[in-house]
Amino acid sequence: IMGFEDYVISFIERHPQDYFFLVVDENLDVLDDSSNHETVSGSIIVQNIRKRLPPDAEKRMVAIIRSANDSSSDIAIYISRAHGFIAKGPIKRDKVNETIAPIWLNRFPSTETITETGSEAGTERGSNLSNYDVSLPYDVSREMTTINNAIESNLHVTNLERFQGQMNNLKSNLLAIKSDASIIPIIGMINLILQNPASDVTERWYNIRNRVDGVLSCA
């Protein structure tokens, strides 16, 4: 881990025609020279790599921070240092492309990194990424309808675990659509409901819903 920055920079510079995808944990445990444990910030490492790379090389890299700490302030830090954020935890196989593709497409909008060879396989893969990008707003809209019905039926009171799962799904899908500063206030409001679902849920949900509608209109 201590030599990771130098390794990545050297590797990228040795492959000037390639593109690179990094997923880095935020909290990296290492042993120092005295065999003492210390924790290194993965997002700071990514930030250092980006600063040290020449601009043309940095443009060929997309780096995502993976962390269990997903408060609005934490996410704001991650996306200021890297290109995106995903929650730490298992991702279902059928959700991998849905989670990663929007971040990749946001970094490389033309998908030229995939299709520029003109090969039939490359074109097909680029098309698939675009389809995943389109499907996520639909997933968010569907999740919002589910949560709206849940609140109206008091699911947050009768089945808190299920309700929290629905809110976490919404949060994950929102971050996949647009992992930048505009999403931070919404994530913060969702976290507040998750922390205290019994207090003014309806009013706070309507505020979230209105903000999410604004994000979807720009997606």
pLDDT of 179:
56
List, run by run, the mean pLDDT of 10-residue segments along the chain (219 residues).
88 93 90 76 94 94 88 86 83 71 75 42 43 62 88 85 86 71 80 78 87 76
pLDDT of 178:
63
Place of tokens 């679902």: 197
* HSE value, Cβ hemisphere, 13 Å, CA-based, for 203: 3
pLDDT of 126:
43
pLDDT of 14:
94
Report d(CA 208, CA 126) in Å as an integer.
Answer: 33
- In terms of Cβ atoms closer than 10 Å to its own Cβ (0-12, 13-18, 19+), residue 8 is buried
Q: How far is CA 119 from CA 112, 114, 131, in A?
A: 12, 9, 19
pLDDT of 11:
95
